[in-house]
Amino acid sequence: MSVEKVFDELGHFKRFQACLYFAAVFQAIACGIHYLASVFLVETPIFVSSVPGNVTDVLYGNVTASSLEEILPVFKSGSGPLVVKTAEGEQWELSRCRCTLRINPTHFLYDFDGNKTVKECTGNFVYDHTEVYQSIVTDWDLVCDKEWLAKLCQPTFMLGVLIGALVFGDVADRVGRVKILMLTSVCQFGFGVAVAFSGNYYFFVVLRFLLAMVSSGYLVVVFVYVTEFTGNKIVLSVCTAPFLLFCWKFPETPFYLMAKGRYEETEKLLNVIARVNGLECRLKAEDLLEPGKREDGKSLLKGDTDEQSSKPEKKLTIVDLFGSWRMAGRTCTVWAIWFIGSLGYYVFSLGSVNLGGNQYVNLFLAGAVELPSYLVGCFAMDRIGRKKTCAPSLLLAAVACFLIIVVPADIEILTIVLSMIGKFAIAIAFGLIYLYTCELYPTIIRSLAVGSGSMMCRVGSVVAPFCVYLADIWIYLPQLIVGILALIFGVLALFLPETLGKPLTTTLEEAESLGRKPSKMNDRLELNQHGAKA
């Protein structure tokens, strides 16, 4: 098949494709909000254990106050306890997870050399609400011995993203893109609202898990959807429109319809696209078939659908991504890039909170560096190619990681610059791999390829928080791990085929031939022709 002829005839990005594109990508903004919400939903503010009775006086070094809420904004964990006096005359030393009662104090001073009694946490805590007004940590006291529950939320969410990418990517190749887009959109709205009314921690985690599944499923399928409707001259941008009002009228893509043998529906779709774009449709569905298959296509267009329905359709699975040594090597490399893209992205992002200052400013700085990375990535991949953009960006991220390790720790500004360079480089590879994966695999298995790649991406995002925790062993261990993996996978990316300017493939055979030299392909065709004559 050569379905790419549709775009040469009817336009790569005209009114019809623009309307679908603007409506389809709107939901992606909501997906991003849900992903970003995890940063604030599990935020742990400054806190101390509470004491029985009313607090009348508070001491913290030379600072005095009449309530814990007044002094918590300047309290730093590990620098000493808060000393409080209650209305009953008791004096307590408070830390994050421990209360110490002073025995028979004579004066209310910060230092005390007398006897003390350590009390276990009663489960009541006082939080500083100046930066974090509310989170699941403050709602359900997920601190001290329950701290692991808060840390479990992000890996659980990413696990849902992983499963959703794999499940919905596979189902979309079987039942169609539009049905999955409608299902995931409605479920995302429902689960998103339900999360706000979750009454306990476990209900919250389950709802977030389901929300992650449908959000991930939507992102995977919608990317394939807009790619198949805009040909190889793809417009990359972020636009908005009320998606839910239009998704019910979205057509299936011509790539999917032709791959499934639904030629009559394809021809109707071509006429609609031409009419909306103000063009005359001179293409017929059989024109998109190989010469040897056109007679079968004509018979199906004339209404002979019994023969089509009687032929069992081959069910493709994730195993087909490894159908040959060539495809297996390609899949392993693509999965590796998805993994390191996500791992590096989150390691650099989570590390940005150590820059100091307001946490919202830190998040802004970590996100701001992505804007030039996407602009540079879009420009480079359309000028020098996908492979020549992806591989160097991974190698640049590796170099940045290694330089962070050797730079003296007291030169903070240089460390920050190198971290931003690393985030800049890894974001290029991470943003490019979505499109690159679409172009490396055929229509019949494209959604599954992107879904399985996104699955590996989420494995990286699940591993990333634990990788950051390794800084407790050695402060530069996270950068060392990311640097080594980025170096190895950057070299492997050099062996992938270039897809710039190539039409999207429809069959596994066409996808496997990507990157082969024309002479080898011609020799293979001649051998097949001689064999057929014999």
pLDDT greater than 50 at residue 127 = yes
What is the reported pLDDT for 417? Answer: 83
What is the C-alpha separation between 475 and 483, in angstroms, rounded? 14
For the chain, percent of residues with pLDDT exceeding 70? 75
Alpha helix locations (H) across 352-476?
359-368, 370-383, 387-406, 412-440, 446-469
DSSP character at residue 314? P
pLDDT greater than 50 at residue 338 = yes
Phi, psi of 466 (to 5 degrees): -70, -30
Q: Each residue of 369-407: pLDDT tens digit?
A: 888 988 998 899 888 989 999 999 999 999 999 998 898
Closest CA to 493 of 423, 424, 402, 395: 395
3 state DSSP class of 47: strand
What is the reported pLDDT for 403? Answer: 92
Q: Contact 397/426 with Cβ under 8 angstroms?
A: yes
Closest CA to 422 of 482, 365, 467: 482
Average of per-residue pLDDT across 310-335: 79
CB atoms closer than 10 angstroms to residue 148:
8
What is the band of 354 on the pLDDT scale with cuts at 50, 70, 90?
low
Q: Is 141 left (phi over 0), alpha (psi -120 to 50) or beta?
A: left
Phi, psi of 47 (to 5 degrees): -150, 160
Average of per-residue pLDDT across 190-211: 88
What is the band of 464 on the pLDDT scale with cuts at 50, 70, 90?
confident
Model confidence, pTM: 0.66
Q: Contact 402/483 with Cβ under 8 angstroms?
A: yes
What is the C-alpha separation between 146 and 253, in angstroms, rounded? 49
What is the C-alpha separation between 366 and 354, in angstroms, rounded? 11
Sequence-distant (6+) residues with CB within 8 A of 270 are 6, 10, 254, 281, 283, 284, 285
CA 111 to chain centre: 51
What is the C-alpha separation between 133 and 130, in angstroms, rounded? 6
What is the C-alpha separation between 435 and 223, in angstroms, rounded? 8
| Lowest-confidence region among 219-223, 228-232, 460-464 | 228-232
| 36: its two tokens | 């970003």
| 221: its two tokens | 């399928």
3 state DSSP class of 57: strand
Query: Which of 233-237, 366-370, 394-398 is most confident?
Result: 394-398
Q: Contact 426/390 with Cβ under 8 angstroms?
A: no
With residues binned 3-state (H G I as helix, E B as strand, rest as coil), the percentages for the chain, rounded to 5, are 65, 5, 30
Q: Each residue of 266-310: pLDDT tens digit?
A: 777 777 777 777 766 666 666 666 555 555 555 544 554 444 444
What is the reported pLDDT for 248? Answer: 47
Q: Each residue of 62-100: pLDDT tens digit?
A: 788 887 877 777 777 656 788 888 888 888 888 878 888
pLDDT greater than 80 at residue 2 = no
What is the reported pLDDT for 256? Answer: 65
| 99: its two tokens | 């209360």
Position with higher pLDDT, 74 vs 356: 74
What is the reported pLDDT for 234? Answer: 59
What is the C-alpha separation between 327 and 312, in angstroms, rounded? 25
Position with higher pLDDT, 533 vs 62: 62
Q: Contact 231/7 with Cβ under 8 angstroms?
A: yes
Residues of the chain with CATH 1.20.1250.20: 318-513
Average of per-residue pLDDT across 90-119: 82
What is the reported pLDDT for 388? Answer: 92
CA 124 to chain centre: 36
Helices (H) then strands (E): counts for the chain: 20, 8
DSSP one-letter string for 1-28 = --TTHHHHHH-SSSHHHHHHHHHHHHHH
DSSP character at residue 92? E
pLDDT greater than 50 at residue 237 = no
Handedness of CA 302, 305, 311, 314 (dihedral sign): positive
What is the band of 323 on the pLDDT scale with cuts at 50, 70, 90?
confident
What is the band of 358 on the pLDDT scale with cuts at 50, 70, 90?
low
Domain boundaries 318-513, corresponding CATH code: 1.20.1250.20
What is the C-alpha separation between 245 and 469, in angstroms, rounded? 44
What is the C-alpha separation between 454 and 163, in angstroms, rounded? 9
3 state DSSP class of 251: coil
DSSP character at residue 288? G
Position with higher pLDDT, 471 vs 255: 471
Position with higher pLDDT, 517 vs 43: 43
What is the band of 335 on the pLDDT scale with cuts at 50, 70, 90?
very high
For the chain, percent of residues with pLDDT exceeding 90? 13
Q: Which residues of 3-33 are buried (b: 16+ CB within 10 A; e: fewer)?
A: bbebbebbbbbbebbbebbbbbbbbbebbee
Average of per-residue pLDDT across 325-338: 91
Closest CA to 154 of 524, 385, 381, 469: 469
Across all residues in the chain, what is the average pLDDT?
A: 77
What is the C-alpha separation between 97 and 305, in angstroms, rounded? 71
Q: What is the identity of the amino acid at 187?
A: C
What is the reported pLDDT for 247? Answer: 47
Q: Each residue of 9-67: pLDDT tens digit?
A: 666 666 776 777 777 767 677 777 777 677 778 777 888 888 877 888 888 877 888 87
What is the C-alpha separation between 15 and 278, in angstroms, rounded? 9
What is the reported pLDDT for 280? Answer: 66
What is the reported pLDDT for 81? Answer: 81
What is the reported pLDDT for 398? Answer: 95
3 state DSSP class of 125: strand
Q: Measuring CA to CA, how many Å separate 476 from each of 55, 279, 351, 378?
A: 43, 59, 11, 31
**What residues pair up with 429 in beta bridges, in sequence order?**
none
What is the band of 322 on the pLDDT scale with cuts at 50, 70, 90?
confident
| Lowest-confidence region among 134-138, 503-507, 527-531 | 527-531
What is the band of 424 on the pLDDT scale with cuts at 50, 70, 90?
very high
Q: Contact 174/180 with Cβ under 8 angstroms?
A: no
Closest CA to 10 of 324, 409, 281, 387: 281
What is the C-alpha separation between 79 and 111, in angstroms, rounded? 13
DSSP one-letter string for 466-477 = HHHHGGGT-TTH
